[in-house]
């Protein structure tokens, strides 16, 4: 390279002082970004990819410090720059977009004013034209009715819209470098696509350089020129996106590549090559009984659409509440799940998939419709009394957030034992403990971890605890509500395989709720696609994903980022 890179990081080491001493978050890394270049930094949680970007911006929190190395941005030594110089650079020369856009905006300040704050700070506008400029920026990030939205608060906007505001903030002063830290995590795939395309288009228009920080290799390879892969604070590989995707050199990159669910692979393919294949236990013959295990018919859930209708003011209102005040979260859906079958329920946030699963779990009451489990009408049993019935044992749930769904004061063993103590009918401390150990072995949780508390376990281990707890009572139907959404891809691969194995050995049926079509593809026999409370398409997974009938399904499939240079050789080599 003859020209100097815009950003040049050399030998960067970032340390955090913690109670247990100094922890090195990033160790001796080199990163450089040229003018107009798009670089992706890919890694799993704890790899130090975000810390690197905070170090560049010098917004590490109090405990963190740059211990070694240099960061040069267009000739300026950022490590030596004064705080006021840094303040001038931040937002004007280097900007950042963050994960969780709604939290990234001041909740009680109008979004227009937040954009104005940045414009005024960097003297990009005077008090006369600042409003006009802010509205112009809103237009540029394609916010419909920008004049009106200027006065909106973040809570009045959708997640995708908030991310556009954050992008508008970041691009307000036409910076040279944009750092996007997981900009689309938590957004729906279709929103992800529009947001990413917007970023790419705007940065290209302005000749900006971009660093995209992500855990998603597909996203990185689709939108970036070069990819840097990080693991545990080190850079393991840097190469062009094409090279990374077609010929990854480092073992970790290859492992990461393998673990990413994608078309044309099976569950087993996700596991590392050297993984010891666990002997598949006796596969239970699926019961000859052809009657479906679960039948749902014309299920409806309505919510009052206004918060006001809950208030006491209603007591003083004459006459019944107007009909229009309800919102149908689930709008007359019908489906069934056979014995030993796994059905995927796919849709974007707000489509009613979680409401559906909680109704089947009988955690909320349906407004109308039928829920029949093994011939028994469970839909009519009030949610309050259902928890005490014997039938409750036969339906279990695994929740999305493995951390939040465990009691922080229960050990793993106590968490697993919880359903056994309530409904299991096993008496005596030793018997319960023995059952817990059997379950732990089943889910591959080392027995010495049983006495640890959730905060002492990793994400994958917590997921295993959640699964062990769910299978403790030999359920026939398991509802899996995005069980791997919060996990790193390599952990997700292991957990998905575990779920598949358990399903085969225990003969369970799954209702697998997810927004990730690639994951559903791997695990489910049939798939239901939901949108706005209705099922728009259902059928065998292969058929729905390869020859979708509904436009919406096609749209969903098209939105999944996968690089255009679909590698043919990859398959041959890994085989």
Partner 1 sequence: MLRMILQRLMIAVPSLIGVVIVTFLLTRALPGDTAAYFAGPAATQEAIDQIRVKLGLDKPLIVQFGRYVQDLARGELGMSLTTGQPVATDIRTRLPASAELTLLGLIVSMVIAVPLGIFAATRPGSMVDHLCRVIATAGVSLPVFFTGLILVYVFYYLLGLAPAPLGRLDIFFSPPPQVTGFFLIDSLIAGDGDMFLASLKQLILPVLTLAIFSIAPIARMTRASMLAVLASDFIRTARASGLSPKTVIVTYAFRNAMLPVITTLGMVFSFLLGANVLVEKVFAWPGIGSYAVEALVASDFAPVQGFVLTMAVMYVVLNLLIDILYGVVDPRVRIEA
Rounded CA gap, 84 and 86, in Å? 5
Our finding on whether 117 is near partner 1 (CB under 8 A) is yes
The set of residues, in sequence order, having a beta carbon less than 8 Å from that of 244 and lying 6+ positions away, is 217, 220, 221, 227, 229, 237, 253
Rounded CA gap, 433 and 429, in Å? 6
Rounded CA gap, 285 and 17, in Å? 56
Asked whether the beta carbons of 304 and 324 are under 8 A apart, the reply is no
Our finding on whether 565 is near partner 1 (CB under 8 A) is no
- In a 10 Å sphere around its CB, with 0-12 CB exposed, 13-18 middle and 19+ buried, how is residue 77 labelled? exposed
Q: How far apart are CB 154 and partner 1 at their closest, in Å?
A: 8
Asked whether the beta carbons of 202 and 167 are under 8 A apart, the reply is yes
Q: Coil, strand, or helix at residue 382? A: coil
Which residue from 100, 131, 458, 543 is in contact with partner 1, where contact means CB under 8 A? 100
Which listed range, 149-157, 343-351, 439-447, 540-548, lies at the site for partner 1 (CB under 8 A)?
149-157
Which CB, 43 or 91, lies closer to partner 1? Answer: 91
Which CB, 170 or 498, lies closer to partner 1? Answer: 170
In the chain, the N- to C-terminal Cα span, in Å, equals 37
Which residue from 128, 280, 311, 569 is in contact with partner 1, where contact means CB under 8 A? 311
Binding pattern for the stretch 213-232 against partner 1, x by CB under 8 A and - elsewhere: --------------------
Q: How far apart are CB 145 and partner 1 at their closest, in Å?
A: 18
Which residue from 49, 90, 133, 149 is in contact with partner 1, where contact means CB under 8 A? 90
Binding pattern for the stretch 353-392 against partner 1, x by CB under 8 A and - elsewhere: ----------------------------------------
What is the greatest pairwise CA distance in the chain? 79
Our finding on whether 121 is near partner 1 (CB under 8 A) is yes
Binding pattern for the stretch 258-297 against partner 1, x by CB under 8 A and - elsewhere: ----------------------------------------
Our finding on whether 316 is near partner 1 (CB under 8 A) is yes
Which listed range, 148-156, 185-193, 272-280, 319-327, lies at the site for partner 1 (CB under 8 A)?
148-156
Which listed range, 96-104, 184-192, 219-227, 467-475, lies at the site for partner 1 (CB under 8 A)?
96-104
Q: How far apart are CB 117 and partner 1 at their closest, in Å?
A: 6
Rounded CA gap, 541 and 538, in Å? 8
Q: How far apart are CB 17 and partner 1 at their closest, in Å?
A: 13
CA gyration radius for the chain? Answer: 26
Our finding on whether 153 is near partner 1 (CB under 8 A) is yes
Q: What angle do CA 324, 330, 333 make, to 5 degrees?
A: 125
Instruction: Show contacts with partner 1 in window 159-178 (CB under 8 A).
Output: 166, 169-170, 172
Asked whether the beta carbons of 445 and 495 are under 8 A apart, the reply is no
Q: Considering only CA atoms, which of 560, 515, 573, 569 is closest in space to residue 217?
A: 560
Our finding on whether 107 is near partner 1 (CB under 8 A) is yes
Q: Considering only CA atoms, which of 39, 179, 38, 209 is closest in space to residue 99?
A: 179
Which CB, 49 or 526, lies closer to partner 1? Answer: 49
Q: Considering only CA atoms, which of 86, 104, 110, 95 is closest in space to residue 170?
A: 95
Q: How far apart are CB 309 and partner 1 at their closest, in Å?
A: 11
Rounded CA gap, 345 and 439, in Å? 27
Number of residues that bind partner 1 (CB under 8 A): 38
Rounded CA gap, 471 and 467, in Å? 6
* DSSP per-residue letters across 434-450: HHHHHHHHHTT--GGGT
Rounded CA gap, 58 and 54, in Å? 6
Neighbours of 344 (CB within 10 A): 27
Our finding on whether 17 is near partner 1 (CB under 8 A) is no
Which listed range, 21-29, 74-82, 151-159, 482-490, lies at the site for partner 1 (CB under 8 A)?
151-159
Q: How far apart are CB 214 and partner 1 at their closest, in Å?
A: 18
Our finding on whether 105 is near partner 1 (CB under 8 A) is yes
Our finding on whether 118 is near partner 1 (CB under 8 A) is yes
Our finding on whether 96 is near partner 1 (CB under 8 A) is yes
Rounded CA gap, 252 and 529, in Å? 34
Asked whether the beta carbons of 9 and 56 are under 8 A apart, the reply is yes
Rounded CA gap, 356 and 207, in Å? 46
C-alpha 238 chain-centroid distance: 25
Instruction: Show contacts with partner 1 in window 36-75 (CB under 8 A).
Output: 57, 59, 61
Rounded CA gap, 233 and 552, in Å? 40
Which CB, 164 or 464, lies closer to partner 1? Answer: 164
Which listed range, 65-73, 192-200, 303-311, 492-500, lies at the site for partner 1 (CB under 8 A)?
303-311
Instruction: Show contacts with partner 1 in window 445-504 (CB under 8 A).
Output: none
Which CB, 165 or 457, lies closer to partner 1? Answer: 165
Which CB, 105 or 224, lies closer to partner 1? Answer: 105
Binding site for partner 1 (CB under 8 A): 57, 59, 61, 86-92, 95-96, 98, 100, 103-109, 117-118, 121-122, 153, 155-156, 166, 169-170, 172, 307-308, 311-313, 316
């Amino acid at each position: 390279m003859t020209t100097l890179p815009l950003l040049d990081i050399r030998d960067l080491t970032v340390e955090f002082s913690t109670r247990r001493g100094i922890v090195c978050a990033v160790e001796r890394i080199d990163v450089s970004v040229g003018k107009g270049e798009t670089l992706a930094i890919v890694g799993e949680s704890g790899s130090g990819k975000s810390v690197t970007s905070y170090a560049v911006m010098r917004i590490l929190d109090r405990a963190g410090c740059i211990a070694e190395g240099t960061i040069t941005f267009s000739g300026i030594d950022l490590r030596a720059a004064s705080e006021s110089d840094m303040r001038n650079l931040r937002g004007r020369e280097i900007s950042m977009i963050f994960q969780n856009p709604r939290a990234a905006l001041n909740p009680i300040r109008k979004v227009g004013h937040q954009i104005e704050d940045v414009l005024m700070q960097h003297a990009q506008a005077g008090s006369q034209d600042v409003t006009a400029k802010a509205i112009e920026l809103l237009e540029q990030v394609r916010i419909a009715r920008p004049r009106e939205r200027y006065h909106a608060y973040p809570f009045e906007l959708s997640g995708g819209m908030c991310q556009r505001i954050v992008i508008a903030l970041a691009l307000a002063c036409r910076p040279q470098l944009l750092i996007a830290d997981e900009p689309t995590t938590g957004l729906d795939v279709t929103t992800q696509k529009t947001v990413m395309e917007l970023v790419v288009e705007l940065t290209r228009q302005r000749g900006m350089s971009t660093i995209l920080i992500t855990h998603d290799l597909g996203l990185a390879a689709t939108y970036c020129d070069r990819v840097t892969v990080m693991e545990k604070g080190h850079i393991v590989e840097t190469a062009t996106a094409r090279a990374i995707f077609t010929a990854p050199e480092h073992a970790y990159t290859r492992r990461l590549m393998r673990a990413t669910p994608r078309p044309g692979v099976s569950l087993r393919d996700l596991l590392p090559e050297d993984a010891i294949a666990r002997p598949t236990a006796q596969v239970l013959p699926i019961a000859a009984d052809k009657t479906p295990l679960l039948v749902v018919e014309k299920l409806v859930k309505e919510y009052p659409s206004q918060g006001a209708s809950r208030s006491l003011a209603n007591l003083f209102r004459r006459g019944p509440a107007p009909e229009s005040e309800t919102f149908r979260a689930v709008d007359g859906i019908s489906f069934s799940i056979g014995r030993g079958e796994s059905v995927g329920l796919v849709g974007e946030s707000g489509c009613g998939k979680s409401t559906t699963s909680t109704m089947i779990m009988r955690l909320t009451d349906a407004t109308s419709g039928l829920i029949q489990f093994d011939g028994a009408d469970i839909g009519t049993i009030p949610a309050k009394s259902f928890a005490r019935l014997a039938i409750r044992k036969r339906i279990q749930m695994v929740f999305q957030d493995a951390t939040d769904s465990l009691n922080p004061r229960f050990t793993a063993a106590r968490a697993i034992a919880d359903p056994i103590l309530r409904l299991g009918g096993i008496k005596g401390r030793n018997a319960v403990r023995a059952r817990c150990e059997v379950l732990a072995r089943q889910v591959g949780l080392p027995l010495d971890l049983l006495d640890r508390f959730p905060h002492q376990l990793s994400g994958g281990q917590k997921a295993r605890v959640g699964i062990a707890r769910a299978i403790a009572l030999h359920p026939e139907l398991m509802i899996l509500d995005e069980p791997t959404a919060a996990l790193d891809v390599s952990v997700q691969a292991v957990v998905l395989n575990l779920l598949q194995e358990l399903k085969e050995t225990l003969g369970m049926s799954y209702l697998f709720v997810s927004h990730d079509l690639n994951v559903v593809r791997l695990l489910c026999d049939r798939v239901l696609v939901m949108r706005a409370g209705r099922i728009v398409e259902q059928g065998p997974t292969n058929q729905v994903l390869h020859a979708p009938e509904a436009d919406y399904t096609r749209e969903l499939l098209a939105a999944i980022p996968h690089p255009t240079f679909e590698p043919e050789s990859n398959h041959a080599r890994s085989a």
